[in-house]
Amino acid sequence: MPSDDGMTIGFIGLGVMGEPMCRNLALKSGHSVIAFDQEPAPLQRLAAVGVHAAGNLREVAEAASVILLSLPGGPQVDRVVRGPDGLLAHGRRGQTVVDMSTAPVELDRAIAADLAAAGIDFADAPVARTRQAARDGTLSITVGALPEVFARLQPLLACMGNDVLHCGSVGCGQVVKLMNNMVLFQTVAALAEAMAIAGKAGVDEALLLRALSNGSADSFALRNHGLKAMLPRDFPEIAFPTDYAIKDASYALDLAQATGVDARGARLALETLQRSSEAGQGGLYFPALLRLVAGEI
């Protein structure tokens, strides 16, 4: 299964974002791709574009030179890398592991140190933007890595994203991603409050969002989360759920505490997300918090 240059890419985690990312990698990179997920369905779909299905983590570790992870969060990343049957146990000197999940900064830095002791390079490269961007290969990818590691990885990451930014040493990609999400959650919470207030004061929600988009309150969150999800009240379970947003917001606040910053706005956004989850919306696309703020649930 190796490609002509002998290089095989591993991909672990084929969820909402991971599956289309792996598909783009297989279609664009020119390398063989081997993937693993606990669910068989995405592996079956990816077989159509030449992705080889691994039966376990060990198969990926033994076959691949570069291994990309797209997992739900820190505990899963830790288990896949440092678990008893994980990549550290079965990896080899000269490999590179790339965490494209959103994970705690200190966890990725600790994993990087453990892998380095085994001669394995590490980079954190979390992704931003939407499911459609993952399909289109237009993700924003923020990378923490040594410069020479980033240089090797950039062509692969460019198969999945059109904005690939080297942010500094290991962990810095996660810092930037967490700050992106922290601002996003606060913006969506602010939009929910504005829509609830305006609606109860007699202003049409669509008109409000149109006016905001024409003024200084315009934002990516307004044009995507506001217009495409909050206005039509469309909060699918197959998008980025409230409970994932809570996880990311918690990681951001852990980082705030570690750096001595009093992030009050982020705490309030997290509180709203938690209340939304407690109201039964944990599995719904996180802008569903509008229904809580507007008193609709």
User: Does the pLDDT value for residue 2 go beyond 70?
Assistant: no
User: Does the pLDDT value for residue 1 go beyond 50?
Assistant: no
Query: Would you say the C-alpha torsion 240, 244, 248, 249 has a positive or negative sign?
Result: positive
Query: What single string gives the DSSP state of each residue in the chain?
Result: ---TTS-EEEEE--STTHHHHHHHHHHHS-SEEEEE-SSHHHHHHHGGGTPEEPSSHHHHHHH-SEEEE--SSHHHHHHHHHSTTSHHHH--TT-EEEE-S---HHHHHHHHHHHHHTT-EEEE--EES-HHHHHHT-EEEEEES-HHHHHHHHHHHTTTEEEEEEEESTTHHHHHHHHHHHHHHHHHHHHHHHHHHHHHTT--HHHHHHHHHTSTT--HHIIIIIIIIITTT---TTSSBHHHHHHHHHHHHHHHHHHT---HHHHHHHHHHHHHIIIIITTSBGGGHHHHHTT--
Q: Tell me what pLDDT residue 37 has.
A: 98
Residue 199 near residue 294, CB atoms below 8 Å: yes
Is 8-169's fold the same as 175-293's? no
The structure's pTM equals 0.94
Contacts of residue 64, defined as CB under 8 A and 6 or more positions apart, other chains included, come to 8, 9, 10, 34, 95
Q: Tell me what pLDDT residue 3 has.
A: 46
CA pair distance 123, 2, nearest whole angstrom? 23
Q: What does the pLDDT look like over 47-65, one tens digit per residue? A: 999 999 999 999 999 999 9
Q: What percent of the chain has pLDDT over 90?
A: 97
Domain 175-293 has CATH 1.10.1040.10: yes
Looking at domain 8-169, which CATH architecture does it have? 3-Layer(aba) Sandwich (3.40)
Q: What does the pLDDT look like over 94-144, one tens digit per residue? A: 999 999 999 999 999 999 999 999 999 999 999 999 889 999 999 999 999
CA pair distance 135, 189, nearest whole angstrom? 27
- Residues annotated as catalytic (active site), given as ranges: 177
Q: Spell out the domain ranges in the chain.
A: 8-169, 175-293
